[in-house]
Amino acid sequence: MKLTPAQLQEFEEQGYIFLPEVFSQEEVDLLRREAETIYRSPRQEVWREKNGSPRTAFAAHTYNEAFRILGAHPRLIEPVEQFFGEKLYMHQYKINAKSAFDGEVWQWHQDYGTWARDDGMPEPRAMNISVFIDEVMPINGPLMLIPRSHTHGTLAAGHDRSTTSYPLWTLDNDTVARLVEEGGIVAPTGKPGSVLMFHGNLVHGSAGNITPYPRKIVYLTLCTVSNHIRKPTRPEWIAHTDFTPIATVADDALLRYAQAHRIAAE
C-alpha cells in the first residue's frame, strides 16, 4: 500500500495520517480473538494495570501467528518504507488495551523520547503505525494527538514511574499547554481495521476508559535499519535487538489465515 503525494505532505505537516478501514472485518475479528487469548495468558510480555486488567502485550509477533503476519503486512510496512526510503526492522510491537471500565491513562509523551533515552536510538527515524482492533470512539479513551508538535524536536521530559504500571518519559503541563495552544488536540476515531500512522516526536496521550466499550490497538514501532538502537536497557521483548529487515508477506496472507482459522474452529 502506497501513500499519495497529498497524504505524504499531510503527514509531513501535521505529524500523523489516519487511514479508515484498511483491514477487513474478518481480518480484524481474528486479531481481536487472538488478542483476548493473549491477555488471558500468564506470559511475562503481558503488562497489567495496577488492578490486574491488561494494559499492553509486547512482542506478540514472536509467539502468535496472526500477529506475526500483521507485523509483516505490506499495508503497514510499505507506507513507512515509502516515507523513510529505507528498509525497516521491528523495534517494538505491542497490543495496547483500554479495558472496559478499567483502562488507565497514557500520559502526554513523545515516543522517540523513550526510544532515545532507554534504547539508544540515534535519530527519530522510526514511527508507530497502528491498527484499531476495536472501534475507537470519542468516549472510550482514544489516542489524543497534538498536531505539528513533532516540529519541535525531542522535548525535555521527566521519568514518571508512579502514575501507572508502565514507566514513561512524560511532558510537563506547561509544555503541553503551549503546544496545544499552537496546534490544538485531535482524537482520531474510527471502525476496527482503521490505521493511524504518526511521527516519533508527535506528542500524544490518552485518557482512561470508564465506558463498557473496550479499546484495543496494535502498534508496530518500525525503525530504519541504519538507525538501529545502540544502548538498550530494556528487555529484548520490549526493545528488540534483531535488526533484520522485514520481508513483507502477501497482501492476502492475514485473510487466508483468518479463513483457515475459522474453518478449523468450525
Q: Which domains are seen in the chain, by residue range? A: 5-265 (2.60.120.620)
Q: Supply the DSSP string of 88-138, one letter for each residue.
A: EEEEEEEEEEE-TTTB--EEEE-HHHHHHHHH---SS-EEEEEEESS-B-T
Query: Cell 499547554 identifies what position?
Result: 177
pLDDT for res 204: 93
Alpha-carbon gap, residue 191 to 69, rounded angstroms = 21
> What contacts 15, CB < 8 A, 6 or more positions away?
145, 147, 148, 149, 150, 151, 198, 199, 201, 202
- Cα distances (angstroms) measured from residue 253 to each of 23, 34, 72: 12, 16, 10
Q: Which pLDDT does position 236 carry in this prediction? A: 96
pTM of the predicted protein model:
0.92
What is the structure's pLDDT at 105?
77
CA distance 19 to 150: 19
Check residue 165 and give its pLDDT. 53
Q: CA 254, CA 261: separation in Å to the nearest integer?
A: 10
Tell me how far CA of residue 265 lies from CA of 69, 116, 149, 258, in angstroms. 19, 44, 46, 10
User: What is the per-residue burial (b if ≥16 Cβ within 10 Å, else e) of 71-99?
Assistant: bbbbbbbbbbbebbeebbbbbbbbbbbbb
SS3 167: coil
18 grid coordinates: 489516519
Report the side by side order of strands in the sheet with 215-224.
16-19, 195-199, 126-132, 215-224, 88-98, 54-58, 46-48
Per-residue confidence in pLDDT tens, the chain, 266 aa: 889 999 999 999 999 999 999 999 999 999 999 999 999 999 999 988 778 888 899 999 999 999 999 999 999 999 999 999 999 999 999 999 988 887 777 789 999 999 999 999 999 999 999 999 999 999 999 999 999 999 999 998 777 665 555 667 889 899 999 999 999 999 999 999 999 999 999 999 998 889 999 999 999 999 999 999 999 999 999 999 999 999 999 999 999 999 998 765 54
- What pLDDT score was predicted for residue 166? 64
